[in-house]
A and B are shown apart, each in its own frame.
Chain A
Amino acid sequence: MSGKRATIYDVATAAGVAIKTVSRVVNKESGVSERTRQRVEEVIVRLDYRPNRDARSLASAQSYFLALLFDEDQPDLVPEVQRGMIAACREGGHHLIAEAIDIRSPNLASSVQALLATSRPDGVLMVPPVADSPELLALLVAANVRHARISAVALPGAHLFLPLEDADAAAAITACLIGNGHRRIACIRCDDGTQAGALRYEGFGRAMAAAGLPIEYTMVESGDGSFSSGMLAASVLINQPAPPTAIFASSDEMALGVLSAANRMRIAVPDQLSVCGFGDTLASRNVWPSLATVGQPVADMAQHAARWLLRAEVDCPSFAPVVSARDTIAAIRFATVEAR
């Protein structure tokens, strides 16, 4: 860096034109002759003049920021979502504001209002559980801020809704267990007060029904999504006269709790018990045996949503859940041995 940065005045003086002419060239407006335009552009390159984005954004009413709203206590999806948003931001010279909020805070609405007022993001993306707050949605609609939601739950009035197909995803991973010959399949529901938990149980039930398998009440336990609740539920499920051969835990953390409980009870996974989770979190890859799970292509979804927020031309693809079978599912071999 040598000396001061060139200003619009320096460019105007060097090119022998009015400031307004430089501005017209920079903003690609009409009313400038081709010769003048070329001369101004040469000077811009020579002086390394870079128009101030603050001034430009005032004029064009664009801030060149997108914002991501997420809950600071439930950031599982956040790294992947950010990866997708950043990719879209880079396409158009935008930057990303990561706004971690406390969904339980009584000042939630005013803090988001302050964000909108001071940073004026060109668009806002929300992920669960923030995305499922009707209060925040109403606030964004009222403020007329372009916004998108990634969520398992539909809410009326949102500008763009990219559905997380939790029921389909749960059905897909349950079908994977059934395909491996399992019949006594237990489910640990996620009763964390969100609709997503109910959707996952619905998907489990759908896959079982499609295979003509009954859901026995001894095969269903509840957890709150946490590791310890998964451990507890697993010990109840395993410690019964006819334990399940497979457990679908409707969050990865609970599934890791199941692995831990099985390990403690000296039950070999997957030889004696198959286990699968939900969410495809980082932790599911960092255990041995690596956890079978099902995820959603959230990075792609976030990139799509960010492009849409930036008003790029985008068609709306559908995003299918991705089953990662990994190492905690084994086929039932004895199940096929039947009396002839």
Chain B
Amino acid sequence: MTRDKVRAIAAQLGYAPNASARGLASARSYLIALAYDNENASYVLQLQLGATRRCRQNGFHLVIEPVPSGPAARDTIARLLDASRLHGLILAPPMCENADVLDLIAARGLPCVRIAPLLDREGMAAVRSDDRGAARTATDYLLALGHSAIGFVTGPPSGPAASLRLAGFDDAIAAHGKPIQVYKAQGDFTFRAGFDQGMALLDRADRPSAIFAANDEMAFGVIAAAHRLRLTVPHAVSVLGFDDSPAARTMFPQLTTVRQPTRDMAAAAAAILLNGDDRAVERNFTPELVVRASTARAPAGGARA
């Protein structure tokens, strides 16, 4: 009764509560922050889109905070926490492993969800995807196409995603009955690295008939290298990526890849904070293989077509 009366008067006066004032009074705000030190602009954008869409349902908004990698991260996060009374914080990889940042957040008692962390942290929520299992599934697919000489371009050694994807690749090769010729090349998730390693792997007589790149951008680089060497994808060489970034559909040929549920993961992270059940909650997603036009049966007569 009283509530209705207040609402009616508020509507009449055009009164809307101020987030800062509301924050003071209720120790809550309508702001969630996403902090990241990730260089992949397309990945960060997908996180933002997933989180904002979920926030919108509850009338919340998303503050974005790019943070420097390494020791300086802590100070940047501290300034953000001082400046705004956040409802909660989402930490993107690889920063979600930064112990200084996690200590700070724990000390402030701020609800926090980590996206795709490698290591567990007592009492902190996490949203994960099974990159290892998905990389294994994708490698099994190449093996089922009859490829017996397969290259793998890795991500940066420090990143959690890179090591999980490599482990999944190794799992599949180890579990396969027949011996497989494996070529591993060190990449860093950039187009340039994919191109350079693609040239190195393909410009040789005993080249692999399939290359699995640990992310899409490197897979685009591998395709570029194949084009340059006049090797047709997928008939001379199959190329497989990981991410399913928007550009995977605007490549020639369209890229076979593993769909990262990045938007869904960010939305799940926001939902955990909005529901207020951030203590040691864990949500798991399974990336799926998306077969498009960049993979085909191994050329007859083995790898050397």
Which of B42, B66, B85, B195 lies in contact with A282, CB distance below 8 A? B42
Interface membership of B22, Cβ < 8 A: yes
A128 to chain B minimum Cβ distance, whole angstroms, is 16
In the complex, the answer to whether A1 meets B104 with C-beta atoms within 8 Å is yes
Residue of B nearest to A264 (CB): B252
Interface membership of B44, Cβ < 8 A: yes
In the complex, the answer to whether A282 meets B247 with C-beta atoms within 8 Å is yes
Q: Which residues of B contact A322 (CB under 8 A)?
A: none
Q: 1/0 per residue B183-194: CB within 8 Å of A?
A: 000000001000
Complex alpha-carbon distance, A95 and B249, angstroms: 34
Q: 1/0 per residue A44-66: CB within 8 Å of B?
A: 00000010011101100001110
Residue of A nearest to B191 (CB): A286
Interface membership of B23, Cβ < 8 A: yes
In the complex, the answer to whether A286 meets B220 with C-beta atoms within 8 Å is yes
If A95-B84, A288-B195, A288-B224 touch, does A72 touch B250 (CB 8 Å cutoff)?
A: no
Complex alpha-carbon distance, A257 and B227, angstroms: 16
Interface membership of B41, Cβ < 8 A: yes
If A97-B61, A118-B30 touch, does A54 touch B23 (CB 8 Å cutoff)?
A: yes
If A53-B83, A287-B220 touch, does A99 touch B250 (CB 8 Å cutoff)?
A: no
Interface membership of B8, Cβ < 8 A: no
Q: Which residues of B contact A286 (CB under 8 A)?
A: 191, 217, 220-221, 247
Complex alpha-carbon distance, A286 and B191, angstroms: 6
In the complex, the answer to whether B19 meets A93 with C-beta atoms within 8 Å is no
In the complex, the answer to whether A119 meets B31 with C-beta atoms within 8 Å is yes
Q: 1/0 per residue A110-133: CB within 8 Å of B?
A: 010111011110000000000000
In the complex, the answer to whether A283 meets B63 with C-beta atoms within 8 Å is no
Interface membership of B119, Cβ < 8 A: no
Q: Taking each of B16, B42, B45, B66, which has the highest tally of chain A beta carbons within 10 Å of its own beta carbon?
A: B45
A106 to chain B minimum Cβ distance, whole angstroms, is 14
Q: 1/0 per residue B1-45: CB within 8 Å of A?
A: 000000000000000111111111000001101100000011011
Interface majority SS on B: helix, strand, loop or mixed? Answer: helix
Q: Which residues of A contact B20 (CB under 8 A)?
A: 54, 57-58, 63, 120
Complex alpha-carbon distance, A118 and B63, angstroms: 13
In the complex, the answer to whether B227 meets A111 with C-beta atoms within 8 Å is no
Interface membership of A259, Cβ < 8 A: yes
Q: 1/0 per residue B82-107: CB within 8 Å of A?
A: 11110000000000000000011001
Interface membership of B204, Cβ < 8 A: no
Interface membership of A165, Cβ < 8 A: no
B191 to chain A minimum Cβ distance, whole angstroms, is 5
In the complex, the answer to whether B16 meets A283 with C-beta atoms within 8 Å is no
In the complex, the answer to whether B17 meets A118 with C-beta atoms within 8 Å is yes
Residue total for A at the interface (Cβ-Cβ under 8 A): 48
Residue of A nearest to B17 (CB): A118
In the complex, the answer to whether B62 meets A98 with C-beta atoms within 8 Å is yes
Q: Which residues of B contact A111 (CB under 8 A)?
A: 56
Q: 1/0 per residue B60-77: CB within 8 Å of A?
A: 011111100000000000
In the complex, the answer to whether A118 meets B18 with C-beta atoms within 8 Å is yes
Which of A54, A97, A118, A285 lies in contact with B24, CB distance below 8 A? A54
Complex alpha-carbon distance, A50 and B85, angstroms: 13
Interface membership of A250, Cβ < 8 A: no
Q: Across the A-B interface, how many residue pairs have beta carbons closer than 8 Å?
A: 131
In the complex, the answer to whether A283 meets B250 with C-beta atoms within 8 Å is yes
Q: Which residues of B contact A218 (CB under 8 A)?
A: none
Which of A63, A98, A101 lies in contact with B64, CB distance below 8 A? A98
Q: 1/0 per residue B237-276: CB within 8 Å of A?
A: 0000000001101111100000000000000000000000
Which of B17, B83, B108, B246 lies in contact with A1, CB distance below 8 A? B108
Quick check: which of A74-82, A311-319, A328-336 contacts chain B, the rest being far away? A74-82
If A72-B53, A93-B83, A282-B41 touch, does A115 touch B24 (CB 8 Å cutoff)?
A: no
Q: Which residues of B contact A119 (CB under 8 A)?
A: 19, 30-31, 61
Q: Which residues of B contact A93 (CB under 8 A)?
A: 79, 83
In the complex, the answer to whether A285 meets B191 with C-beta atoms within 8 Å is yes
Complex alpha-carbon distance, A72 and B217, angstroms: 22
In the complex, the answer to whether B18 meets A287 with C-beta atoms within 8 Å is no
In the complex, the answer to whether A227 meets B249 with C-beta atoms within 8 Å is yes
In the complex, the answer to whether A54 meets B252 with C-beta atoms within 8 Å is no
Interface membership of B80, Cβ < 8 A: yes
Closest 6 CB pairs of A and B: A288-B224, A117-B16, A1-B107, A260-B252, A79-B41, A283-B247
The 28 listed contacts between A and B (C-beta, < 8 Å) are A1-B107, A53-B85, A54-B23, A55-B24, A58-B21, A58-B24, A63-B19, A65-B84, A75-B49, A78-B45, A79-B45, A86-B66, A93-B79, A95-B63, A95-B84, A96-B65, A98-B34, A98-B48, A113-B16, A117-B16, A227-B249, A256-B251, A259-B252, A283-B246, A283-B250, A286-B191, A286-B247, A287-B220
Interface contacts beyond A54-B20, A97-B61: sample of 18 additional A-B pairs, CB < 8 Å, sorted by A: A1-B103, A58-B18, A58-B20, A65-B63, A79-B42, A93-B79, A95-B65, A95-B83, A96-B63, A96-B65, A99-B62, A100-B48, A118-B61, A256-B252, A257-B250, A264-B252, A283-B246, A288-B223
Q: Write the residues of chain B forming the contact surface with A, with a CB cutoff of 8 angstroms.
A: 16-24, 30-31, 33-34, 41-42, 44-45, 48-49, 52-53, 56, 59, 61-66, 79-80, 82-85, 103-104, 107-108, 191, 195, 217, 220-221, 223-225, 227-228, 246-247, 249-253
